[in-house]
Structure 1
Amino acid sequence: MHIQFKNRKVLVTGSTHGIGLATARGFLDAGATVVINGRTQEGVDAALKRLGGNARASGFVGDLSQSQAADHLRQEHADFDILVNNLGVFGPQDFFETPDSEWDRFFQTNVMSGVRLSRQYAQGMVQRGWGRIVFISSESALNIPSDMVHYGFTKTAQLAVSRGLAKRLAGTGVTVNAVLPGPTLSEGVAEMFQAEVQRTGASLEQVAADFIATHRSSSIIRRAAHVDEVANMVIYVSSEQASATTGAALRVDGGVVDSIV
């Protein structure tokens, strides 16, 4: 199977590091023109440098949890062939200590950013008869974490949006899917584990594996995934070869979700 995206324009939101950056790199390697996104010029410039200064890569600076930033993006980029809604925030906080403002921040960032951008760009895809929209959800959409109820709620909401939008776009040539990573060694996760790495002297991979053994004991691979492993699923489901896959929740969770479907 040879996947290539020549003459395809891709937006990957929240892509200055982690899964988003790995996904952007995968699209570039397959010939796409890619717009990455971050909240600061410094972050976007650093990410573009990490992508090797590829001439097919450019950046958009803006907080896409805000509707004004989405409007500015549309002014700069009228259309995309592929939209990867990767922008997201996470972090543990007890249910009884999570204020309304934090629920709203998570919802606007994790859910509404993808809703707005899908609304902006899906109709152009329909007019051209081809397009791909991917929401980066999480296994936490199915296994709601007791210490991050506000996060799990947003990831479940993404599944509802992606499935419903896939049905709304039935027969148009535009597919909509969700990808559900499990524990993944992104920069954000590495930062969360850094104190334990320093305390124990163990490697990041070992600390992550110990966390999974304790908190995600149903994992079959018994380790954290690497960002490229998640990006590979996004690249496939965005390809021509994945034309019969839509409305799906595709797990890259290492078998954490204990289900045969």
Structure 2
Amino acid sequence: MVPVKITRFKGEAGMQFDLSGLKAIVTGSTAGIGFATARGLAVAGAEVVINGRKQDACEKAAAALRKVAPKAKIEAFVGDLSTSEGCDALVSAHPACDILVNNVGIFGPKDFFETPDDIWEQYFHINVMSGVRLSRAYLKGMENKKWGRVIFISSESAQNIPQDMIHYGFSKTAQLAVSRGLAKRMAGTGVTVNSVLPGPTMSEGVKTMLEQEAEKTGKSVDEISHGFVMQNRPSSLIQRFATVEEVANMVLYVASRESSATSGAALRVEGGILETIF
């Protein structure tokens, strides 16, 4: 038998996965962890659908992906996935996928006693129900093909509930419950479902915030970011923000064929903040 040569796409961090022939949908992917994940998937050879609520942001992100992964097919879906209508529209435009990354989400500090019902509902619909609806839409097709990956981008806040963002922590814990339950539901089908738990991550928005603070104080961005982590997440073992690429590398592994024995897991990329071993 003549051996088949497989061309592998090398990611920025040196990991190599071959995702050619697979279609991935990454929600909330015009910037931050979502965009870094979409980039990693595209570089690895997957067809990638990115998503955002603004046409210009989607076009800009798609153009950037085509530059780094010219061989990959890149499409953009503009839509608000916090509603059932938005999710239905995405499924109508892209009826099937092999890899679903439920990344879209919002966060923001607010005291519990000043957080009304509508904010709780907003976080639930965006952070939780978007993933529920899309998983419900795509998992059956994955089961029929006997292969698929569903990944929820949760947070260390799912276990380490922030006292100033209880509404956010609640939504991230809910993602873990949905993810674990779906992994059990899909047991033995060849489809895996997992969660990834980032900690403080240097997204574009965070970097801008830190740069503004550095301007005010005269300190460097590195000093400001280190101080933030040590004050707000003192148990961090890496004692810094993670990069979006570091988080995306974990997502890329879970999305790959090589992760076939990993399902129902909550995979931590939070720098050792969580005190629990398991």
Task: Specify the SS of the correspondent of 2:171.
Answer: helix
- CA–CA distance in 1 between the matches of 2:237 and 2:37? 24
2:16–2:44 Cα contact (<8 Å) kept = no
- CA–CA distance in 2 between the matches of 1:178 and 1:6? 23
1:205–1:224 Cα contact (<8 Å) kept = no
Aligned residue for 1:250? 267
Match of 2:44 among 21, 30, 44: 30
Q: Cα distance, 1:205 vs. partner?
A: 3.3
Matched residue type, 1:153 = F
TM-score, normalised on structure 2?
Answer: 0.91
Match of 1:210 among 213, 227, 236: 227
Match of 2:151 among 85, 109, 134: 134
Aligned residue for 2:212? 195
Matched residue type, 1:136 = I
Q: Cα distance, 1:194 vs. partner?
A: 4.2
Q: Cα distance, 1:163 vs. partner?
A: 0.1
- 1:182-217 superposed Cα distances (whole Å, 9 cap, x missing partner): 000012322443432221233333322110111100
Aligned residue for 1:83? 100
Matched residue type, 1:33 = E
- 1:25-49 superposed Cα distances (whole Å, 9 cap, x missing partner): 0001100000000001011011112
* Higher Cα Rg, which structure: 2
Task: Specify the SS of the correspondent of 2:125.
Answer: helix
Match of 1:51 among 65, 71, 77: 65
> Percent identity between the aligned chains?
59
- CA–CA distance in 2 between the matches of 1:146 and 1:210? 19
RMSD in angstroms over aligned alpha carbons?
A: 1.2
Q: Output aligned runs, 1:63-212, within 5 Å.
A: 63-212=80-229
Matched residue type, 2:59 = D
Aligned residue for 2:29? 15
- CA–CA distance in 1 between the matches of 2:164 and 2:252? 31
Matched residue type, 1:81 = D
- CA–CA distance in 2 between the matches of 1:21 and 1:205? 23
Task: Specify the SS of the correspondent of 1:51.
Answer: helix
Task: Specify the SS of the correspondent of 2:222.
Answer: helix
- CA–CA distance in 2 between the matches of 1:18 and 1:44? 13
Count of aligned residue pairs for this structure pair: 261
Task: Specify the SS of the correspondent of 2:17.
Answer: coil
Task: Specify the SS of the correspondent of 2:201.
Answer: coil
- CA–CA distance in 2 between the matches of 1:134 and 1:181? 13
Matched residue type, 1:67 = S
Q: Does the alignment pair 1:233 with 2:273?
A: no
- CA–CA distance in 1 between the matches of 2:203 and 2:222? 11
Matched residue type, 1:77 = H
**Unaligned stretches of 5+ residues in structure 2:** 1-14
- CA–CA distance in 2 between the matches of 1:238 and 1:22? 14
**Unaligned stretches of 5+ residues in structure 1:** none
- CA–CA distance in 1 between the matches of 2:266 and 2:218? 37
